[in-house]
Structures are given as structure tokens and as C-alpha cells.
Amino acid sequence: MGLGCWAIGGVWQWDSEPGGWGEVDDAESVRAIRVALDLGINFFDTAANYGTGHSERVLGKALRGLRDQAVIATKFGFSVNETRKRATRFSCPSEVIENARHSCEQSLRRLGTDYIDLYLLHVFDFPAEPAAALREILEAMVGEGKIRAYGWSTDSVELAKVFAEGVHCAAIEHDLNVVLDAPDLLTLCRLNGLASVNRSPLARGALTGKYRANSVFSDDDVRHSARSAHTYFTPVLDRLDAIRELLTSRGRTLAQGCLAWIWARSPITVPIPGFRTVAQVEENAGAMHFGPLAPEEMDTIETLLGR
């Protein structure tokens, strides 16, 4: 299991929309990352976008002197303005390609490291033809020692196939949780020997049991957006009651049960639940003590969800 470092980036803007999860306490973030290491979690997923570099800086600070104990994934592909706290799309695919090396150097600087374990393209809908050219640049960067492997954060099977052809492509990052399954992407990863890194394993908090359909988020929280409501909260909350009792059986919290479902779904999955506090990290890490759901529990969930 890993940890997603989006929420510790603080307040920032994606174009004119909120891109972060509200205000954060950097000292608490650092403590949480170090607690994660102590509890056996060593994979951390961040991005240049997250807080327009702030998440990378906090992660780098937390891992100072501990770099050899951690596996770091970060993402690139957007224009990041640290001063204005704003991230935007580049005007065309060629700009993403031209800026790939510079983006990597910036992330290395913010993280305080001389290599990135997993470098992920963050543009989920980047066109296939220029993606093949970008893949070759990433292969070259592996040879130069700047990155050890690369992948793509996308929910498109067809686009993921382009990177999967690369020798040093190691992972596809995509949405996956108990309500929003991704069978085709899991198959692609399995057939190509790739890790399936799972964003939104708790559906932006909808699968923690802390929120209801009428929950209100602050204007600087990405969950305030219509996309969060339509993609995560509404479909998840509409179906959660049907499976809540099973997921929380045998002493698991709801979040722990949802992580257990992902591990049972496929042996190649790496869920990356987000966090902002030590308590959240401790709860997520506690899921490892329970392990994956049993096959019969998985079958019952499929029946309850009508899949």
C-alpha cells in the first residue's frame, strides 16, 4: 500500500477551480509521512500540480535522511506556476514533450533527491501519437538515471497501451474502488506486467463513512466541485449502504474494508489513499493487519452491487 500526497499540497487553483483539499498543517503532514514509514508504508505518490510544488516539498522534507527507505512517484505534464499557486494545461502536446525534462529537474529539486522512482504522465487524455514520442524521451531519462521507471495516470485503456509498450514502463495509475471497478485496466496491467496504482480508493472520502449526500465542502476544497459530486460522491453514496455491513465485518473500519476489497480484487493493485493527519495514516495502515477480503466476501459484494 502507498499514500497519496495530493491532500497535503494545500490550497491551489486548477485554472479557475479549486485544485487542493483546503488548508493543511505542514508539520502534521511531515509527522504523518514518518509514521507511515514506521508502520510499513514506503510508497508515496505526489505530483508537481499538488499545491504547485508544495506537496513535493513537504514530502522531500519528511524524507530527508530517509530517502533510501521510500519509493517516490511524482507526476508531470501541466504548466505549474508556484508563485500564483495555479496549474494549467500546456497549449499543445509538443509543449508537454518539450518541458518533460525541465519538469523532472524541478520535481527533483523540490523533493530534494537525485532520482525519481516512478515518473507518471499526469495528462489523462494526452493524444496517443505524441505519447509514443514522449515515451522515448522517458526511456532516455531512465538511461540518464533521473528516473528509474515511468507510467501514466489515465483511465483510458487505449492510451495506456502506448506506454505499456515501453521497456521501462512500470505502472498505470487509475481510479479503482469497491463501487467504481476498472476491469479492463486491471487486465491491461496484468498482461503487461505492470503495477496498478489506484487513485481514489476511498472515492475522495465518500467511502470513509464521514460524509452524506448533503455534506458541504469549503470553496477551496476540490470536493466542492461538480465533478467530485457526479464522479465520486453520488454514485458511491447511492450504493454504500448495501455493502457497508460486509466491509466493516471482523472489526474493520469502512476505509479498511474498502482497501481490503482492492487487495482482493487483484494481486497487482497498490491503493494510495490520501491523508492529512497522523490518525488517517494509522487507520489506513491498520488495513494491512486484516489483509484482503475473502473470496466469498468478494462474491457477496458483487451480488449486492448487481455486477
Residue 227 clears pLDDT 90, i.e. is over it: no
Residues 85-132: pLDDT tens digits?
A: 999 999 999 999 999 999 999 999 999 999 999 999 999 999 999 999
The partner residues of 179 in beta bridges, in order of sequence, read none
Q: In whole angstroms, what is the distance from residue 279 CA to residue 58 CA?
A: 18
Cell 505549474 belongs to: 80
pLDDT value at 16 more than 90: no
CA distance 226 to 241: 23
Of 24, 22, 69, nearest to 44 by C-alpha is: 69
Q: What are 234's three cell numbers?
A: 453520488
Per-residue pLDDT averaged across 9-35, rounded?
96
Each residue of 26-38: pLDDT tens digit?
Answer: 999 999 999 999 9
The average confidence (pLDDT) of the chain is 97
Please report, for the chain, how many H helices and E strands are present, in that order. Answer: 11, 12
Q: What span, in angstroms and rounded, lies between the C-alpha atoms of 222 and 235?
A: 17
Distant-in-sequence, close-in-space partners of 222: CB < 8 Å, separation ≥ 6? 14, 17, 18, 19, 20, 21, 204, 228
Global pTM reads 0.97
Q: Give me the pLDDT at residue 242, please.
A: 96
Q: Is the pLDDT of residue 263 over 90?
A: yes
Q: What are phi and psi of 305, to 5 degrees?
A: -90, -5
Domains annotated for the chain, with CATH where assigned, are 2-304 (3.20.20.100)
Q: What are phi and psi of 300, to 5 degrees?
A: -65, -40
